[in-house]
Chains A and B, each alone.
Chain A
Amino acid sequence: MNYFVIGYYALLIGSSCLAAHYRQREIFLLLFSLTLASFVMGIVGGEGALWAVTIAAGLLALAGGTAYSFREFLIIISGPLTARALRTAPLTAAFGMFVIFTYAVLGIFAPVIAPYGEAEVISQSFAPADQDMLLGADQLGRDMFSRLVYGARNTVGLALVATTIAFVIGALLGMIAAVKQGWFDQFMGRTIDVVMSIPSLIFALLLLSILGTNMIVLVVIIGVIYSPRVYRLTRAVAGNVVVMDYIEAAKLRGEGMWYLIRKEILPNSTAPLIAEFGLEFCFVFLLVAGLSFLGLGIQPPTADWGSMVRENATLISFGEITPLIPAAAIALLTVAVNMVVDWMLYRSSGLKE
């Protein structure tokens, strides 16, 4: 028994009592079950386990605090309408926004932030971390941290462009189909069915091996492969909008299709489309990373998280976590985007409480 252990239990039990006293049911249950679990962990795992719990709790609190302050920051700097929407954001969504913000900064200012170039060989292969290299070197002796920063720009940027292409194609065709109906709708629907029936990764591999691998081909192929999902969603959402009387009024006025799409349908389907954009972005991002891992995505020496995982994979057998860092970067962004999208979906679905 040392002061740490005594302090640890004293703090937990004390705060449990406070929570119970102020009838904070959920907080009390959480704290007290943590206390009980800590007894077991303390006996089995010793002081180390308790330290781990403390650090985990500290990290969680830090993330929560960051999310909270970031949300308040956003509320203050944004206009009244956005601020009202932001106030409804849960902490998870705020945390997601913070992570996305960080990635965006990393991507945009990559040359300023990264200490070395992405293809610059500065040391021996698999050199351990030192004061020059924050995360050590990769299999060719390039700085892992710099490549991670550049990777944010390449991988995320590519996924963003591909998703945007998918959205422009899918949403436009979906809305045209909803307005035109008849044979065009049927024709598009069946074509989309055919495209969707082919597994996306295999389809991408097939097309890439036929057309060759370069950035533009890659982006366009991914955009085309993912547009059917967007098409279906847009077609469904727009289908609900075109039956409204205001569309009939606009048609009777003699408005053209482009006006209908731009002014009448699009503003009424943005909420689900934005949420879908977030979800699609995650899938596209994972596909890009997966293709890179297989060697058909972004080509070396351009830094990319997917290929970084593959290139450094041998290190796992030596108990190093280096190859897991880019993987974690992928995971973190995907989770963050999903957190924000969850909140947006919740808002657009109009659910209360």
Chain B
Amino acid sequence: MANKGNILLKIEGLRIEAYAEEKWFEIVHGVDLVLRRGEVMGLIGESGAGKSTIGLAAMGFARDGCRISGGSIEFDGLELTTTSEVDRRRLRGSKIAYVAQSAAASFNPAHKLIDQHTEAPVQYRIRKRTESQEDAMELYERLRLPNPREIGFRYPHQVSGGQLQRAMTAMAMSCRPDLIIFDEPTTALDVTTQIEVLAAVRDIVDQFNTAAIYITHDLAVVAQMADVIKVLLKGDQVEEADTRTMLNKPQEEYTKSLWAVRSFQREQKLRPSDDSAPVVAVEDVDAAYGTVRVLEDVSFDVHAGMTVAVVGESGSGKSTTARCITGLLPPLKGRILFRGEELPPSYLSRSKDQLRQAQMIYQMADTALNPKIRIGDIIGRPAQFYGGLKGTALKNRVDELLDMIELDPSQFYGRYPPELSGGQKQRVGIARSLAAEPTFIICDEVTSALDQLVAEGILKLLDRLQRDLDLAYMFITHDLATVRSIADEVVVMKQGKVVEQGAKDAMFKPPHHPYTDLLLSSVPEMDPDWLTTLLEERGVDNVGDAATT
């Protein structure tokens, strides 16, 4: 990627404050950034590091409740902190574009894609509507969207998530901006879809020689996209270097810890040799939402003290299987056995003890904990409900559970969920399921909403608890790195069917089922050439096809 031009964006000593509890807090403490024309900079860091805030500040914009309190932002010779809002607004969309994390939430559902695409060029009088539509179709083609001449006339809900994200990238390109800010554009996508978007974004940025700021928390992704990587921590810059140097020789301790995060891996356990009944056995389960069949002949066993990872893309029926096991969705056919005994299909007809044995930990700890109930009461309720504990016995049990999840009881007992960080909330969710003293826990994407360092902590905790309490886990995930670190057995699902299942070590060794192979090869690696090599192997044109077939 040669011919880097002159400086396009220069941020110096940027300070941003946020308003909370009647005070202004500084959340970005003096960040410098230089971006040349045609260069792609990766901003990485955990949540709360100020990545998105800095990305928005590059457009001279601060979110509601935030303000730019110091420093300078110079874009193409224009100082954004002092220009009027009218002038800044003129830049946005035409010279600087923004691609948001959730394309589904950012498109207006009431308008067709192409109408939203042409809005900016027509508004800024860069192109006429018809020209702009032609241009949109051309961009759709370049981004390898299927049916580029027709897809624009669909509404946002009529195309898939990956296609929508690419349409949004095309929209950002509609005025041929000098700078595009990508704010975690692939975080919400499956690995197989992510590749399409990554390849499309990289090509188009390259073709038009557009500069870009690529914000993400996924190191492997940023390694594919960026020329330069900048690491942020709690609003401070940690270090900056070009991609290869950064990957091979990180200087700072924090960066090294980020790099090492995927190292946690534990030994695979084997099924107990005797013929004891599995804790949970799913037998030939079919399920449907209304008339839509979502599960077909799903069978697998979970043995005591073992972790079964259920992997697949979104829509493959992973969570539906969990709903069948818990009884929220009674299966059409097939049985759920618990220690050899058949469970009633609906949770309503299960006994209190049957309900107690199988607990669930949710993906979004935000919605899984009632924000108006204190932590102590959230954790205490199952103990009170199933165990009939009261008074000091209950308090002691809650303290014990809080200790178990490594949160200080004296500090957390009386607090409310909104006062906790994402990782702490997830720990409380774990404690709540432990309070019921279960033998089987369903973990539904428990780490996917968390930062990598925090996620690793949760995985280690779950592993320790499994050893201490001899728990059986069903681990639903789309992240193969998680599978590699914690699973004993793997079940690969696709469109409601089990494609392949077996012990972990065997699964990660060839030969694979073609779909497993696709999933495995789509996980980004920390090698800057990974995407290029992969695309060459697969043949550039069928990236999208490979994922859809």
The interface of chain A, by Cβ under 8 A from chain B, is: 84, 87, 244-246, 248-249, 251-255, 263-264, 267-268, 352-353
Q: Is B481 an interface residue (CB 8 A)?
A: no
Select A245's contact among B65, B368, B381, beta carbons within 8 Å.
B368
Return chain A residues, CB-CB under 8 Å to B373.
263-264, 267
- Bitwise, B356-400 to A at CB < 8 A (1) or not (0) is 000010101001111111000000011001100000000000000
> Known: A252-B347, A255-B385, A267-B372. Is A244-B360 also a contact (CB below 8 A)?
no
* Cβ-neighbour of B372 out of A87, A248, A268 (below 8 A): A268
Tell me the bound Cα distance from A252 to B22 in angstroms: 40
B328 located at the interface, meaning its Cβ lies under 8 Å from any Cβ of chain A in the complex: yes
CB distance from B356 to the nearest CB of A (A): 8
Contact indicator A246/B369 (Cβ below 8 Å): yes
Interface pair B360/A249, CB less than 8 Å apart: yes
Q: Known interface pairs A249-B362, A253-B382. Does A84 touch B22 (Cβ–Cβ under 8 Å)?
A: yes
**Secondary structure at chain B's binding surface: helix, strand, loop or mixed?**
loop
Complex contact B385–A254 (CB within 8 A): yes
Q: A253-B385, A253-B436, A352-B64 are in contact. List 18 more A-B contacts (CB 8 A).
A: A84-B21, A244-B370, A245-B362, A245-B367, A245-B368, A246-B367, A248-B328, A249-B360, A249-B362, A251-B328, A253-B381, A254-B350, A254-B352, A254-B355, A254-B385, A267-B373, A353-B64, A353-B65
User: Quick one: closest A residue to B323, CB to CB?
Assistant: A248
Q: Which residues of A contact B326 (CB under 8 A)?
A: 252
Q: Complex formed: what's the CA distance from A244 to B352 in Å?
A: 22
A252 near B370 with CB under 8 A, answer: no
The chain B residue with its CB closest to the CB of A254 is: B355
Determine the chain B residues whose CB is within 8 A of the CB of A249 once the complex forms.
Answer: 360, 362, 368, 432
> Least Cβ distance of B480 to chain A in Å?
25
User: B369 — which chain A residues lie within 8 A by C-beta?
Assistant: 246
Task: Choose from B22, B65, B364, B368 the contact partner of A352 (Cβ within 8 Å).
Answer: B65
A103 to B: closest C-beta gap in Å: 31
Identity of the chain A residue whose Cβ is nearest the Cβ of B417 in the assembled complex: A246
Which B residues are in CB contact (< 8 Å) with A252?
326-328, 347, 355, 360
Q: What is the CA–CA distance of A333 and B372 in the complex, to the nearest angstrom?
A: 32
Q: Give chain B's interface residues, CB within 8 Å of chain A.
A: 21-22, 64-65, 326-328, 347, 350, 352, 355, 360, 362, 364, 367-373, 381-382, 385-386, 432, 436
Q: Give chain A residues whose Cβ lies under 8 Å from the Cβ of B368.
A: 244-246, 249
- Whether B64 contacts A246 by the Cβ 8 Å rule is no
Note all chain A residues with C-beta closer than 8 A to B350. 254
Residues of A within 8 A of B21 (CB): 84
Known: A84-B21, A252-B328, A254-B352. A267 touches B385 (CB 8 A): no
Question: A264 CA to B367 CA in the complex, in Å?
Answer: 12
A152 to chain B, nearest CB (A): 35
Give the 10 A-B residue pairs with the shortest CB-CB distance, closest first. A267-B372, A245-B368, A246-B370, A245-B367, A245-B362, A254-B355, A244-B367, A352-B64, A352-B65, A254-B352
Shortest CB-to-CB span from A274 to chain B, Å, is: 14
Chain B residue nearest to A246 in the complex (CB): B370
**What are 5 of the A-B contact pairs (CB < 8 Å)?**
A252-B326, A252-B355, A253-B355, A264-B373, A352-B65
A248 and B355 CA atoms in complex are apart in Å by 13
- In the complex the two chains form, what is the Cα distance from A244 to B368 in whole Å? 7
Chain B residue numbers with a CB within 8 Å of A353 are 64-65
Is A267's CB under 8 angstroms from B370's CB?
yes
Quote the shortest CB–CB distance from B346 to chain A (angstroms): 11
CB-CB under 8 A for A268 and B371, given A251-B347, A252-B328, A253-B436:
yes
Alpha-carbon separation in the docked complex, A71 to B327 (Å)? 52
Residues of chain A lying within 8 A (CB to CB) of residue B370: 244, 246, 263-264, 267-268
**Complex Cα–Cα for A250 and B547 (A):** 38
Task: Report B147 CB to chain A, min CB distance, Å.
Answer: 35
Q: Which residues of A contact B360 (CB under 8 A)?
A: 249, 252
A residues less than 8 Å from B328 (CB atoms): 248, 251-252
Q: What residues of A have a CB within 8 angstroms of the CB of B65 in the complex? A: 352-353
Q: Interface centre among A245, A267, A268, A352, by most B CB within 10 Å? A: A245
Please give, as numbers and ranges, the residues of chain B lying within 8 Å of A87 by CB-CB distance.
22
Taking CB atoms, residues of chain B closer than 8 Å to A263 are: 370, 373
Indicate the member of A84, A253, A353 with the most B CB atoms within 10 Å: A253
